[in-house]
Structure 1
Amino acid sequence: MELFDLSGKTALITGASGGLGASFARELAAAGAHVVLAARRLEKLESLANAIEASGGKALAVAMDVTDPDSVTAAFATVQETLGRPCDIIINNSGISRDDWFTRMTEEDWRAVMNTNLDGVWRVAKAGANALIDAGKPGSIINIASITARRPQHTIAAYAASKAAVEHFTHVMALELARYGIRSNAIAPGYFSTDINDEFLESEQGEKMRKRVPMRRFGEYRELAGALLLLASDAGSYMTGTTIVVDGGHLVSTL
């Protein structure tokens, strides 16, 4: 278990105000990391930070809007000033969706999804990687992709395209950052209930989707912890440029 120990490490999680991001923060804190909670809603982050510290962990809440370059820069500066070190682990989790047939989607909605899901990943990864390179430290960057990057689904063209781009960007990052000892990997979750999809999963269409998952259920947040800790810790020290799929067998289901 020492391989999974994150004591002495600092981990930044974007989109940490709820859902998967908050779950990731709790798991990383429980493994010993000093977690940096990043999102636009600072009041929610502070509540989570207090809960983590009440459980014996260490947490810092910082405001960050991944669509705003200045906000990303300021957040990383705050981490450096407060903790005196760069983040060893970066979890790119922020994401949104604008669901519609691509022929009806507006330019505004398409750009909003790309600016958060793809451009935001690039901004945060760039800032985090450069901070590690400047400090001469190794690290791990984990981008949250999706199984929709590999299997098409109606009305989520922008989301699926952004996640496909994130997965390939993860591979390019791995190639370019390996020389610095910085690993880049992705996790592709299947269907987990989040603010983005909870209404769909509870609908009649969502029930049809559940029946197509070989394990006949949607995922629980704790079931992403294994992949997260593997990629964040020394247990995955020789892993870079890979994507771990956690989907109950959804991708291997028959057509």
Structure 2
Amino acid sequence: MTSPPARRALVTGASRGIGRAVAVALAARGDRVAVHYASDRAAAEQTVALLGGDGHAVVGGDVGDPGQAAEVVRQAVAALGGVEILVNNAAVAPAPDNRHAIAEVSYAGWQDSWRRMIDVDLIGAANVTYCVARHLIDRGAPGSIVNVGSRGAFRGEPEFPAYGAAKAGLHAFGQSMATALAPYGIGVCSIAPGFIGTDRQAARLAGAGGEAVRAQSPFGRVGTPEEVAAAVAYLTSAEAVWASGAILDLNGASHLRT
């Protein structure tokens, strides 16, 4: 049996965590991957070193800047010779230094948090999607786009409302694009992970509040980057085109939508 031809993927925010796991999973099935980073090129190069196969690339830029977002896609297309898969994973994630609970944060801090999270998590993903989609349309080629959202879009993020709003917007954007791009053979899906045990979260999970975080799921644990990557691998496969428009909850039953 002849193996399907390798495809080419751009994974944003792939220098560590979920993005790194996604890059590894796509490379393991034979895809060539452009590993995107915002500021830490060394970490992105470490991701590339973990990838099976060859022909991978590192591309850099702040997707929150419209010009740099377009340049990231240009770099990926040039390095790989084209792109068929986009995984919008780059995000400004909740952290102690961007916490903006409305009763506690200054107005200036409120503005800063909203602007940065919306610029990267929503508008940045929209701009990268535009550039990849137009590349595919101009080629007359099918493709797959997956947005990495969050359960916070549905349950709320009281200490990080800009993050919850950005991810809700990302999910809605993905469904709009699923309808708009289907005539061109481009499928678009989103994933809404719960708490994922990345390296960045290791200290929190090991601390006093770690048990409470694990208890959010009836499985008594948090998710892994590899579980998210496995879902992305399916949703970017040829077999998943009929799932276009879907938002996949991936949270270990820690939040159930009705």
Query: Which of 223, 242, 248 lines up with 1:244 in the alignment?
Result: 248
Question: Which stretches in structure 2 are left out of the alignment for 5+ residues?
Answer: none
Q: How far does residue 197 in structure 1 lie from its aligned partner after superposition?
A: 4.4
1:133 paired residue among 118, 131, 137: 137
CA offset digits 1:206-240 (Å, max 9, x no partner): 42232131111001222223311111011202121
- Look up the match of 2:102: 102
In the alignment, is the contact (CA less than 8 A) between 1:191 and 1:219 conserved in 2? yes
Partner of residue 239 from structure 2, selected from 232, 235, 245: 235
Aligned pair in 2 of structure 1 residues 51, 153: CA closer, same or farther (>3 Å)?
closer
What does the per-residue CA deviation read over 1:75-94, in whole Å, with 9 as the maximum and x for residues that have no partner?
22223333332x11000001
Counting only pairs closer than 5 Å after superposition, residues 110-129 of structure 1 correspond to structure 2 as 110-129=114-133
Q: Distance in 2 between matches of 1:7 and 1:207?
A: 45
Match 1:162 to one of 160, 166, 169: 166
RMSD: 2.1
Residue 94 of structure 1 contacts residue 116 of structure 1 at CA under 8 Å; is this kept in 2? yes
Residue of structure 2 in register with 1:29 after alignment: 27
1:93 to 89, 92, 98: 89
Q: Offset of 1:117 from its aligned partner?
A: 0.6
- Alignment correspondent of 2:41: 42
Q: What is aligned with 2:81?
A: 84
* TM-score, length basis structure 1: 0.89
The one-letter amino acid of 2:62's match is D
The Cα offsets for residues 38-90 of structure 1, whole Å up to 9 and x where unpaired, read as 112222222322332xx4344111112101222222222223333332x1100
Q: Which residue of 1 aligns with 2:71?
A: 74
Which residue of the partner structure matches residue 183 of structure 2?
Answer: 179
Contact preservation (8 Å) 1:15, 1:39: yes
Larger CA deviation: 179-188 vs 193-202 = 193-202
| CA distance in 1: counterparts of 2:210 and 2:164, whole angstroms | 17
Cα distance in 1 for partners of 2:229, 2:157 equals: 26
Indicate conservation of the 8 Å contact 2:25/2:230, yes or no: no
1:8 alignment partner, SS class = coil
Residue ranges of structure 1 left out of the alignment (5+ in a row)? none
For the residue of structure 1 that corresponds to 2:126, the secondary structure is: helix
Contact 1:9 1:34 in 2 (8 A): yes
Name the stretch that deviates more: 187-196 or 125-134: 187-196
User: Which SS does the other structure have where 2:87 is aligned?
Assistant: strand
Per-residue CA distance 1:159-204 (angstroms, 9 max, x = gap): 1111111111111111111111111100111111236644444443
Q: Is 1:6–1:233's contact at 8 Å kept on the other side of the alignment?
A: no
Q: Distance in 2 between matches of 1:147 and 1:240?
A: 19
SS at match of 2:86: strand
Post-superposition shift, 1:138?
A: 0.7
Percent identity at matched positions? 31
Q: Is the 8 A contact 1:6 1:32 kept in 2?
A: no
Structure 2 match to 1:63: 60
Give aligned pairs, total.
248
Contact map agreement 2:32 2:80 (CA 8 A) in 1: no
